[in-house]
Amino acid sequence: MKKEKRIYCSKCGQENNADAQFCQNCSAPLQNEKDSEISYSERKQEYAGKIIKCPACGEELPSFTAICPACGHEINSSRVSESLDKFIAQIEECDRRIANSPEIPKKGWSTWGKWKKIGWVLLNLYFACIPLLIYVFRPLLRTDKAPALTADEKYKATIIENFPFPNDRGSILEALLFIKSKVAFLAAEKINANNSYWMRLWTKKAEQLHEKAEILFPGDKIANETYQEILKNSNIVKKKLRIRLLLTVGVIIIFVAFMGVRSGKNGIGNLADNKDYDQKYDWQENQFTTLLPKPESEYGKVTMEMEKQFSVEIYKTSTEMYEEYVKECRNNGFTVDITKTEGMFSAHNEEGYQLYIYYYENKKEMHISIDSNDIEEKGFAEGTYESLKVKNFVFDIPDYWEEEGSKNEYLQYYAEKGEKLVMLSIAYPVETDDDYGVSFDGLYQDNENMIDMIASMFTDGDVIDNEVFESAYGVKGILYRFSCNQKINWLTSVDANGYCFCFPSEKDRRWFYVYYVQTNKVSGNDYKDDYMKLISSIRENDE
């Protein structure tokens, strides 16, 4: 039987009988084959796009429809759910790597040297703890600032921020529940800048998900309850941060008030009244004053002139003079991490010099303080070291190290011997496993085995900490800190501690181990400071 020919409407696409003159759906005129051939060059209409239909009843659905309006069938997408599973797997893998990766080196009071701590205490005593207030308030008030992150943490943050969550109800609810578990864990942890950052990141993503849920399936009970739980935990963290801020402020206020009472009893608070405001000062050039503009007023007093700090009081000043002086300091390069109020300015320059300027309007007095405590000392003084070439690298070694007991692919030096042992060694063995990649990535991935190997070098060794370290010349490796029980001879052993800096030599497939061991009976950190300068000096041999 011959199949009857059909014709389609060029306006709405409805199928019609071949002999029909008008569309039975929209009544538009229809063209027969002959007319179509004639008019083809005159007008051509195309239809493009994908028509989405309900799999249950066949109803055509607009984009972003979660529930069919005709039959109530829930629209799901297995493909999108797979992408959500992949996202969750990526986050869990990042968490695993972050837990096993070296921590970012700590900063702050615990890492300061003795003289920096003494200078900081004296500065706060002199300026009534105002520098301490600035030091404490700045990180507490800037809670929205991202903390220092490792490479793995930055990668995790990028995944969270850029992942486009799905459109179907099942995947959205699953994503909200996943975020809920992450937020609940953070709320139960100790509140710090890092946890607060991740809480903000997850809460922001939950907000985006909830907004999408309200568009696709408004008023969904599960979505709303889950989102409210997330907000509840987020508010718990915010509340803890506020309490932490209030407690810190309270302690500082009590301390400052206590110091003020004691100062009043001792007559210290009246010292300002006994100042000679007609006294002139001598603005002598030193490493600090060359960085600063000379104040307009010639009246004042130099209150502190030390190796790493300089302070001066300037009398007979005005608000205009203070503002102009701050402007000149900014022109001189003090533009990093600026804090500016009506009577206080603080900033540091690119070299690391920290500047504080305080203006007391009632006394017409300006205090200027500048220090170099944050500038890291690099390298050794000229004539106190020699440059040692070992295979493809060069090391700067202080003259007091004496070589003794060196062997093939192993150099050994001593600064002290006996129970007060201070030893330095440089080992550079060739990698014997041809399948093992001699690179920083290979070292990083094999970090757990490296920790075990370093601990096993001693009779009773334990790696306390490890971190990624890069020399001043770009030689990158991992620095391990350990404690141990070091045998001196057959009868004697002593407790010791030290460091091991491990880095790869990709050119000749060698591993370099730069050990430093110091017994606990050695006092001071001079040797350790020189060791850090030594490994900072490591560079490739260009000859």
Long-range contacts of 378-384 (CB under 8 A, 24+ apart): 378/472, 378/533, 378/536, 379/533, 379/536, 379/537, 380/530, 380/533, 380/537
At 357 the pLDDT is 92
Spatial contact of 374 and 354, defined as CB atoms under 8 Å apart:
yes
Q: Is residue 23 part of a domain?
A: no
- 145-to-230, 290, 355 alpha-carbon distances in Å: 21, 34, 23
The last residue of a domain, from among 316, 348, 371: 371
Measured distance CA(7)–CA(33) in Å, rounded: 9
At 48 the pLDDT is 44
Instruction: Evaluate if residue 317 carries a pLDDT over 90.
Output: yes
Instruction: Evaluate if residue 356 carries a pLDDT over 80.
Output: yes
Tens-digit pLDDT profile for residues 534-543: 999 999 988 7
Domain co-membership, 222 together with 311: no
- 170-to-60, 77, 205, 217, 424 alpha-carbon distances in Å: 21, 9, 17, 11, 61
Tens-digit pLDDT profile for residues 29-70: 776 544 444 344 344 444 444 556 666 566 666 654 556 666
The number of folded domains in the chain is: 3
Q: Which residue has the higher pLDDT, 250 or 29?
A: 29
- Span 504-533, average pLDDT: 87
CATH number, domain with residue 474:
3.40.1000.10
Domain co-membership, 346 together with 458: no
Instruction: Evaluate if residue 253 carries a pLDDT over 90.
Output: no
Q: Which residue has the higher pLDDT, 251 or 409?
A: 409
Spatial contact of 210 and 216, defined as CB atoms under 8 Å apart:
no
- Span 430-453, average pLDDT: 88
At 147 the pLDDT is 67
Domain co-membership, 190 together with 282: no
At 275 the pLDDT is 80
Tens-digit pLDDT profile for residues 388-407: 999 999 999 999 999 998 98
Tokens of 24: 């039975």
Q: Which residue has the higher pLDDT, 112 or 539?
A: 539
Domain co-membership, 242 together with 391: no
**Band of the pLDDT at 141, cuts 50, 70, 90?**
low
Spatial contact of 421 and 518, defined as CB atoms under 8 Å apart:
yes
pLDDT, the chain, mean: 78
Domain co-membership, 177 together with 290: no
Tokens of 283: 């603005």
Strand partners, 413: 403, 424
Spatial contact of 464 and 455, defined as CB atoms under 8 Å apart:
no
> Which residues have C-beta within 8 Å of that of residue 172, sequence separation ≥ 6?
165, 166, 209, 212, 213, 216, 223
Strand partners, 8: 15
Closest CA to 487 of 461, 454, 459: 459
CA angle 57, 60, 61 (to 5 degrees): 105
Domain co-membership, 146 together with 208: yes
Q: Domain limits at 93? A: 78-246
DSSP 26: T
Q: Is residue 490 part of a domain?
A: yes
- Span 436-457, average pLDDT: 88
Question: For the ranges 141-150, 189-198, 263-272, 414-423, which has the lowest average pLDDT?
Answer: 263-272
Q: Is residue 487 part of a domain?
A: yes
Measured distance CA(515)–CA(109) in Å, rounded: 27
Spatial contact of 362 and 478, defined as CB atoms under 8 Å apart:
no
Instruction: Evaluate if residue 146 carries a pLDDT over 70.
Output: no
Domain co-membership, 466 together with 518: yes
Pairing between strand 60-61 and 300-305?
Answer: unpaired
Tens-digit pLDDT profile for residues 204-223: 888 888 888 888 778 888 88
Question: For the ranges 11-20, 311-320, 327-336, which has the lowest average pLDDT?
Answer: 11-20
**Band of the pLDDT at 138, cuts 50, 70, 90?**
low
Q: Is residue 209 part of a domain?
A: yes
Strand partners, 515: 425, 500
CATH number, domain with residue 312:
3.30.310
Domain co-membership, 366 together with 401: no
The last residue of a domain, from among 326, 348, 371: 371
Domain co-membership, 97 together with 241: yes
Q: Is residue 226 part of a domain?
A: yes
Domain co-membership, 429 together with 336: no
Tokens of 376: 């890291």
Measured distance CA(513)–CA(445) in Å, rounded: 17
- By three-state DSSP, how is residue 407 classified? strand
Domain co-membership, 428 together with 320: no
The last residue of a domain, from among 313, 339, 371: 371
Instruction: Give me the residue label for tokens 């205009």.
Output: 320
At 387 the pLDDT is 92
Q: Is residue 41 part of a domain?
A: no
Domain co-membership, 314 together with 343: yes
Question: For the ranges 1-5, 343-347, 408-412, which has the lowest average pLDDT?
Answer: 1-5
Spatial contact of 187 and 237, defined as CB atoms under 8 Å apart:
yes
Tokens of 162: 């850029």
Tens-digit pLDDT profile for residues 462-507: 898 899 999 989 999 999 999 887 665 666 677 888 899 999 999 8
Q: Is residue 127 part of a domain?
A: yes
DSSP letters spanning 264-329: HHTTGGGGGGG--TT-B------TTGGGSPPPS--BEEEEEE-SSEEEEEE-S--HHHHHHHHHHH
Strand partners, 312: 302, 368
Q: Which residue has the higher pLDDT, 537 or 147?
A: 537
The full 3-state SS of 127-155, as one line of letters, equals CCCHHHHHHHHHHHHCCCCCCCCCHHHHH
> Which residues have C-beta within 8 Å of that of residue 496, sequence separation ≥ 6?
421, 458, 483, 484, 485, 486, 517, 518, 519, 520
Closest CA to 206 of 227, 229, 182, 234: 227
